[in-house]
Amino acid sequence: MNPLVRDRDVAFLLYEVLDVLSLTRLPFFGDHGRDTFDQFLATTRRLAREVLYPGYRPMDEAPPRFERGAVAVHPVMKAIYPRLAALGMANAPRPAEVGGQQFPLAVTTLASSYLMAANLSAYAYVGLTAGAAHLLEAFASEELKALYMRPLYDGRWTGTMALTEPHAGSSLADVRTRATPASGGHYEIRGSKIFISGGDHDLTDNIVHMALARIDGAPAGIKGVSLFCVPKMRVERGDLVPNDVSVAGVIHKIGWRGLPSLALSFGERGDCRGWLVGEPHRGIRSMFQMMNEARLMIGVNGVATASVAYHEARAYAESRPQGRLPAAKDPASPQVPIVEHPDVRRMLLRQKAIVEGGLALLARAALYADLAAYSQDEAERARAELLLGLLTPVAKSFPAERGYEANVLALQVHGGYGYSSEYLPEAWLRDQKLNSIHEGTTGIQGLDLLGRKAVAGGGAAIAALDEEIRRTATRAAGAGVDADLVAAVVQGTGDVLAVTAHLGARGLAGDVEGMLLHSADYLELFSILVVAWQHLAMAACATAGASRGDHDAAFYRGKVLGAAYFIRTEVPRIAQLCALCRSGEDSYARIRPDEL
């Protein structure tokens, strides 16, 4: 049975690497302790393994049907949804006053990784709902919260993000959906949205869309876009009344096939009402306040999708006999399991290093989010906020890109069988591909990292990162981690700081295009550093753990070898990529479309 995510990894991150229990000293988390964390994790992973995972393949094979204007989900999903909603993941980290359980995000993030690994489409209904409800919680009027946020957090309804429009894609400045003020305090909404995940279904009585639209007369561009609550069914005198939201079409996605992706029309009959959430023309700003959270969720998805495939490949490699080792001279000797071939172990260790490095990064980012929100020390909150912002583009894109590479390797380990839909790795590979596209493409993450986050706070963010990494290096050296590993990460940190200063200076001197030209390479080198740091932290704890005795020796040894692999194969690329960022290499800047 595929474990989806390794329980021991989760405990290691929470209680050995990140010391998440220290959060329980903060008032917001004061009612919690290891017992409540572990109980929540146990409930979640059991639901993932016993309920969500068995539904994955049927949902992949038979996507929701679109008939007579409505979407019908797979019967399996109908059975899953009430049990998933009952788990309360949508508001598990939210305050008790909105029905939440005040769990640290570090805990819920790791818990949610099981659900995503098991059945990412099924979990997405909840993840999207959490995002929509959180927006309402943060910016909506009390009346709107009572009407629409509560049923979302309760799981009675689901929510969506209705941002993208057909002509605009990632360019939210070009949103055209119109909002005309009406006398009842609401707005009349008219427009088309596309790629709306979970935009219609028959799981719940209602769906609440958080939609971007432009109030009549609003300025052009990003500063004229407002956020609205546009329900499928509006509440009128306690009843649910159709709100003129219709399904215009279905996108045939190559993955996430249990979750419909739709084109929606608002106001085709002139009777679609929306309620302003937050201030007029500040919709993008509101959205972006939730963006870190949404992007971390995509990152967890990427890690989870790589994780389930890694565990599948690992089990396959141990059970599939093929070939012999070079030393075996007797052709009549039995074939060995393919895990015995070093190149197969290379492919597995690479997946392990990506999955575990990525999971550690996500858990750490979630911890910073917890501190940023609930630390009682203002300086610590600010510092955590800076680190969270800095890590978010990496936490979103590394799992998407390297997770995809890991998923490719999981398929490759399965050989010809991996190329067939009789085995699951190809399905996870399809699923993973979306993560480099939605919630900001990898290209956009690179621009965000270099153009905004790395130079944030006048260098305070990256200085904080430097401090954190040095602290880890000191701890690793003290624990007895190989000196070359520690030195490589320290050296890499210095290289990244220097290239950041160099590029930042170029931008300050007015050459913003030159500064950003190698943003993709910068994202890559920065990601290597940040994930190498996670591996160094894990190696430090694993070395310390191993020194405490034989308990879990194989687990700890695997951690150390994974760290050695990642640092020795990846960190040397930092210097090379830094040189590329500094170089005058401008071939793609110079090339004209007719020369391509």
3-state secondary structure 341-379: CHHHHHHHHHHHHHHHHHHHHHHHHHHHHHHHHHCCCHH
Cβ 368 vs Cβ 391: under 8 Å: yes
Q: Which of 137, 439, 468, 570 is catalytic?
A: 439
Tokens of 180: 């005309």
Please pick, from the candidates 323, 471, 505, 511, the single residue that binds its own copies as defined by CB under 8 A: 323
Cβ 23 vs Cβ 29: under 8 Å: yes
Looking at residues 13 to 52 of the shown chain, list those that interact with its own copies (rule: CB under 8 A): none
439 is catalytic: yes
Please pick, from the candidates 121, 164, 246, 305, the single residue that binds its own copies as defined by CB under 8 A: 164
CA–CA distances in Å: residue 64 to residues 71, 261, 322: 6, 10, 40
343 near its own copies, rule: CB under 8 A: yes
318 near its own copies, rule: CB under 8 A: yes
Please pick, from the candidates 199, 446, 492, 504, the single residue that binds its own copies as defined by CB under 8 A: 446
Please pick, from the candidates 253, 295, 383, 506, the single residue that binds its own copies as defined by CB under 8 A: 253
Looking at residues 546 to 575 of the shown chain, list those that interact with its own copies (rule: CB under 8 A): 554-555, 557-558, 561-562, 564-565, 568-569, 572-573
8 near its own copies, rule: CB under 8 A: no
Please pick, from the candidates 2, 43, 141, 170, the single residue that binds its own copies as defined by CB under 8 A: 170
408 near its own copies, rule: CB under 8 A: yes
Please pick, from the candidates 70, 173, 505, 509, the single residue that binds its own copies as defined by CB under 8 A: 173
CB closer to its own copies out of 200 and 524: 524
Residue 66 three-state SS: strand
CA–CA distances in Å: residue 195 to residues 109, 165, 242, 248, 448: 25, 8, 22, 11, 23
Tokens of 530: 């940040």
Cβ 369 vs Cβ 296: under 8 Å: yes
Least CB distance to its own copies at residue 314 (A)? 5
What is the torsion angle, in degrees rounded to the nearest 10, for the CA atoms of residue 429, residue 431, residue 432 and residue 436? 130
Please pick, from the candidates 193, 352, 364, 506, the single residue that binds its own copies as defined by CB under 8 A: 352
422 near its own copies, rule: CB under 8 A: yes
Cβ 201 vs Cβ 259: under 8 Å: no
Tokens of 58: 């049927």
254 near its own copies, rule: CB under 8 A: yes
Angle at Cα 84 formed by Cα 289 and Cα 23, nearest 5°? 50
Least CB distance to its own copies at residue 43 (A)? 28
Least CB distance to its own copies at residue 44 (A)? 24
Please pick, from the candidates 129, 204, 301, 436, the single residue that binds its own copies as defined by CB under 8 A: 436
Looking at residues 221 to 250 of the shown chain, list those that interact with its own copies (rule: CB under 8 A): 221-224
Residue 111 CA, distance from chain mean position: 13
DSSP symbols for 116-173: HHHHHHHHHHHHHHHHHHHHHHHHS-HHHIIIIIHHHHHTSSEEEEE---TTTTT-GG
Please pick, from the candidates 30, 54, 219, 478, the single residue that binds its own copies as defined by CB under 8 A: 219
Least CB distance to its own copies at residue 253 (A)? 6
319 near its own copies, rule: CB under 8 A: no
Residue 202 three-state SS: coil
Residue 33 CB neighbours (<10 A): 11
582 near its own copies, rule: CB under 8 A: no
Looking at residues 454 to 513 of the shown chain, list those that interact with its own copies (rule: CB under 8 A): 512-513
Please pick, from the candidates 326, 458, 510, 549, the single residue that binds its own copies as defined by CB under 8 A: 326
Looking at residues 65 to 104 of the shown chain, list those that interact with its own copies (rule: CB under 8 A): none
Region from 76-84, 231-239, 294-302, 404-412 binding its own copies, contact rule CB under 8 A: 404-412
Residue 387 three-state SS: helix
Least CB distance to its own copies at residue 299 (A)? 18
Number of Cα atoms under 13 Å in the Cβ half of residue 382: 6
Please pick, from the candidates 42, 498, 508, 589, the single residue that binds its own copies as defined by CB under 8 A: 589
Least CB distance to its own copies at residue 162 (A)? 14
CB closer to its own copies out of 195 and 374: 195
324 near its own copies, rule: CB under 8 A: yes
Least CB distance to its own copies at residue 210 (A)? 18
DSSP symbols for 549-579: -STTHHHHHHHHHHHHHHHHHHTHHHHHHHH
Question: Which residues are identified as catalytic?
Answer: 439
